[in-house]
Structure 1
Amino acid sequence: MAYVLFLAGLAVVLAGLTWFASWARRHGRGSGMAGALAAYEEAYRTTAHQSHHELRQQADRKSESGSPDDL
């Protein structure tokens, strides 16, 4: 019986954390954690940090597609 209660409690905690993560993403509250992880990766995992910056640049870049009227 104790195992069932433990697993039920664990499931409730994980569901709550999942809900909080989705809420934070929707409301733009996750940028502090992203910054902290980027600082950690810069110090200890340099290749991951470089990849992070490359992905951010790709996301910020806008595709240059011409208009049909430009012909």
Structure 2
Amino acid sequence: MAYVVFLGGLAVVLAGLTWFASWAKRRGRGSGVAGALAAYDEAYRTTAHQSHYELRRQADRKSENGSPDELQ
């Protein structure tokens, strides 16, 4: 019986966290957590921090090459 109560409680907690994550994503409230994780990465995992910023730069970069149709 104790296992059923434990698993039920675990399911409720996981469902609550899932709901909170979807709510925060819809409202744009996840930036504080992202900033905290970026600070942690910068302090303890410098290669992950550098990779994160490189990926952001690549996503922000616009393509300098035109489409093949513009060459004609």
TM above 0.5, yes or no, is yes
Q: Deviations over 1:6-44 (max 9, x none)?
A: 101100100110111111111110000000000010011
Greater RCO (Cα-Cα under 8 Å, separation 6 or more): 1
More off after superposition, 60-69 vs 46-55: 60-69
After TM superposition, give the deviation of residue 69 of structure 1 in Å: 6.4
Query: Normalising by structure 1, what TM-score?
Result: 0.84
Unaligned runs of 5+ in 1: none
Q: Percent identity?
A: 82
After TM superposition, give the deviation of residue 46 of structure 1 in Å: 0.4
RMSD, aligned α-carbons: 1.6
1:65–1:26 Cα change, 3 Å:
farther
